[in-house]
Structure 1
Amino acid sequence: MAAFHTTDELDPGQRLLVRIDVNAPIEDGEVQSTRRFERHAESIRELLDAGHALAIMAHQGRPGRDTFTGLEQHAFILSDLVGEEIEYVPSTFGEEAVEAIADLEPNPDAASAGAEDAAGDADTTGEAILLENVRMTDGELPEEPPEVKAQTEFVRTLAKAFDGYVNDGYSVAHRSHASIVGFPEVMDSYAGPVMADEYEYNTSVERREFDGDVTMVLGGTKAEDVIAAMDHLEDTVDTFLLGGVVGELFLRARGHPVGHDLEDGPDLYDENYEKNEDLIADVLDRFGDRIETPVDLAYEDENGERAEHAVVDVEEKTVSYMDIGHETVEAYRPIVEDSAAVLVKGALGVFEDERFSYGTVEVLRAAGESDAFCVVGGGDTARTVPMYDLDPAGFDHLSIAGGAYLQALTGEGLVGVDALERAAERMDG
């Protein structure tokens, strides 16, 4: 486990500045997914039941994009999920925010009231507000060293108003932004429940010992990410099962006429392959038969229906492949079922389209119904589980992290975790 302090160590009734990640897809100005909200609502509920007063920070989108909005609707969603009003404050560290923070009332006696009573009685819990989108704040962006972020007016203004800082946003822990790395430089700092949980599971495969084979399912579009993960876990993983764009690129390296761009298709393959051709060849040479590639691929026929080609029958790529085929699933299924641990990073096809969800869904189903220790993550891949009614109880962990999850798999440190560890050293010293 990382050497950081967690919120379990806090005395009741503290004033806390809390960073979460409820960044969500937005269409027509409306939030389209509450998956991250649901996880963080549990953390907020737990902190409120301990009588803490919370000023919550989060972001939505990036400047210049359509998804870059204020957080008023985010406050409504969180309030509904937490079961208690979380007031939206359209400021981060301006006068309005400072006044709202000053009005927050912790309740040190909340814990003695009991969690069951506290959950239904506002008088026995702390209070919470949600500050405006931190990426609208001077000093939050761009990425800079923690010591630089610690000197921003944003950090200097808010730090003195709280007893401690809580980072519950593992999924943004790879970003060196003020709300992630600045506050831990100058405040007592703690990992929230989501942060601690995500860190534990997303680094678990290389830290644990398993009585049997470890299998890694790798999909998505970026060959360099897949190769970095394979390199880092070379001594841990026994078998790599490939799909998606990456699966086609590896098939191309094995001499099959796939993994190419089409004139009327997306530019996903040629540049990707040219940039990584030597790396792919090296990995195939070193790992040999530990790497399983698709034996058939699915595409959309002239009637708009799913159809499949056996890879050995493809003489020239003339269609866009959207999923691994049924024979590939049947080849992958027993490998997954017989594994002691399964780690999933990336989808094996365009699972958002039900016609091409089969590969991702059925491999996940096999993992979830097996006895294997199973962690699923990598962008939106974990979304497949609720989208296709797979039983979440079959998986040990469904990560809400994308970039941070990938960095954990490739062995890169996370600046947000490093910041919490430095804070712990300072606090202990």
Structure 2
Amino acid sequence: MSTPTATFKTLDDLESDQRVLVRLDLNSPIEDGEPQDNRRFERHAETVRELADAGHRVVLLAHQGRPGRDDFVSLAGHADILASHVGRDVGFVADTYGDDAIDAIEALEPGEILLLENTRMCDDELPEEDPEVKAETEFVQSLALHFDAYVNDAYSAAHRSHASLVGFPQVLPAYAGRVMQTEYEANTAIAEKEFDGQVTMAVGGTKATDVIDVMNNLGDKVDDFLLGGIAGELFLRAAGHPVGFDLDPEQDLYDTQWEQNHELVEEMLAERGEQITLATDLAYEAEGERAEVDVDEIEEKDVSFLDVGTDTAEGYADVVRDSEAVFVKGALGVFEDERFSVGTVTVLEAIAETDCFSVVGGGDTSRAIGMYGMDEADFDHVSIAGGAYIRALTGQPLAGVEALKEQ
């Protein structure tokens, strides 16, 4: 198989002794006003450590939450978490491009690291606008004067056209950080690599439109789509089974999606039926335990289905073992509940023990790897991106990546 051609400059191209502005994505769950450690800190720490060890003066930008929401807080706590992963002190200033920030930036010595305040506390950061517009903002124009280079490591936010993501590449030499580089290469691999053997994609999650878009974009690259989750149940409904609708009118998981997409789902089954594998059994809760039923035996839906069945999971695992490449987008069930983790975990374990090229991503799916005792090293890439991963799979451009490509 071939490797995607580099489309942007990376840290390997960065000259020595630079004052570098680095965009990270440290957006985290907030509990009692404090950020919680997560895999993003660990991943981004690699880029930050490499830059600091090389003697650059490293200044970091990141966002947290959105204005008006409970998770819209300062980044002061984020600096401490990041420092624990980098193995160096990470200074913090409660300012982004005012006098306090500029003074702190100018005072940096080689190898020192400084985190600026939440970018979304700047009026210029939002909303999404063209890069040329963002480049003219006071935020970008004022801050860029004090830097030699810009590094974007925030792949998981790269689908946003915000000032800190697309404005600075217009006015500074711009480079991809290690997270940006590895995420881009892995998440575009399904479209850009050439595989000699079978290519399989396990597709789950909650949105039928995501599944349809992925199939439309990658139908010529993928030999077998293994379906699960809410999207998989909607496909079962299109195949004539009495599932894929809401039992509780207050819980709109299926019906609106069906009304909006059933013709597209039916067309997809008609056009790509040989590439689509649907669940043959489903799991549900009965008296507090996991119970299963064959799809062909369902006469009417009177329970909520929370996972693909064991037979389906084992069948999917067999397909994985015969594959040269496997990509995962979305969970096959409610894996956070161990009773309904069988589908997701069985497929992930099969990937881990198979000598195939593998990429796992899509929302929180990758969390199942650590949650159920698997080793990330057994996968070629575990993405920390959600929306950006979906856009990559569906062929949509990412504004932050396009800004780097234009260098």
Q: What range describes the TM-score normalised by the shorter chain of this pair?
A: over 0.9
Following the alignment from structure 1 to structure 2, what is the Cα–Cα distance between the partners of residues 386 and 265?
A: 33
The answer to whether the 8 A contact 2:190-2:221 is kept is: yes
Quote the offset at 1:12 in angstroms: 2.2
How far apart, in 1, do the equivalents of 2:30 and 2:123 lie? 23
Identity of aligned residues (%): 61
Q: What amino acid does structure 1 have at the position aligned with 2:283? A: A
Distance in 1 between residues matched to 2:191 and 2:54, nearest whole Å: 34
Asked whether 1:193 is paired with 2:197, we answer no
Asked if structure 2 preserves the Cα contact closer than 8 Å seen for 1:2 and 1:421, the reply is: no
TM-score by length of 2: 0.97
Aligned amino acid, residue 274 of structure 1? E
Alignment partner, residue 40 of structure 1: 44
Amino acid at match of 1:191: A
The answer for unaligned runs of 5 or more in structure 2 is none
| Alignment match, 1:398 | 382
Displacement of 1:33? 4.1
Mapping of residues 30-429 of structure 1, within 5 Å: 30-106=34-110, 126-263=111-248, 266-301=251-286, 303-422=287-406, 424=407
Would you identify which runs of 4 or more consecutive aligned residues in structure 1 move more than 6 Å?
A: none
Q: Are the equivalent residues in 2 in contact too, given 1:78–1:86 (CA < 8 A)?
A: yes
After superposition, the C-alpha distances for 1:64-88 in whole angstroms (9 at most, x for unaligned) are 2211111111100001111111011
The aligned amino acid for 2:205 is: G
Aligned residues: 403
Alignment-derived partner of residue 116 in structure 1 = none
Equivalent residues of 2:37, 2:81 under 8 A apart: no
What secondary structure, in the 3-state scheme, does the structure 1 residue paired with 2:366 have?
Answer: helix
Q: Could you list the per-position Cα deviations for residues 191-232 of structure 1 after superposition, in whole angstroms to 9, with x for gaps in the alignment?
A: 111101111111112211112110011000111111111111
Distance in 1 (CA, whole Å) between partners of 2:266 and 2:238 is 7
Q: What secondary structure is seen at the aligned counterpart in 2 of 1:257? A: coil
- In structure 2, what is the equivalent of residue 123 of structure 1? none
Instruction: Note the C-alpha offset of 1:265.
Output: 6.3
The secondary structure found in structure 1 opposite 2:351 is helix
Indicate conservation of the 8 Å contact 1:294/1:328, yes or no.
yes
Displacement of 1:288 after TM fit? 1.2
Question: Distance in 2 between the 1:76 and 1:242 partners?
Answer: 41
2:217 & 2:399 partners in 1: Cα distance? Answer: 19
Give the Cα separation in 2 of the matches to 1:216 and 1:134. Answer: 36
Q: CA deviation at 1:266?
A: 2.4
Q: How far is the alpha carbon of 1:3 from its aligned partner?
A: 2.0
Counterpart code for 2:356? A
Structure 1 residue 264: deviation in Å?
Answer: 6.3
| TM-score computed with the length of structure 1 as normaliser | 0.92
- Any idea what SS the aligned residue of 2:105 has? helix
Question: Relative to structure 1, is the Cα distance of residues 83 and 372 closer, same or farther in structure 2, using a 3 angstrom cutoff?
Answer: same
Contact 1:93 1:158 in 2 (8 A): yes
Structure 1 letter corresponding to 2:369: V
Contact residue 265 and residue 320 of structure 1 kept, 8 A = no
CA displacement at 1:27 relative to structure 2: 2.6
Counterpart residue identity of residue 310, structure 1: D
Please say if residues 314 and 346 of structure 2, whose CA atoms lie closer than 8 Å, have aligned partners that are also in contact.
no
Cα distance in 2, alignment partners of residues 13 and 380 from structure 1: 38
CA RMSD of aligned residues (A): 1.1
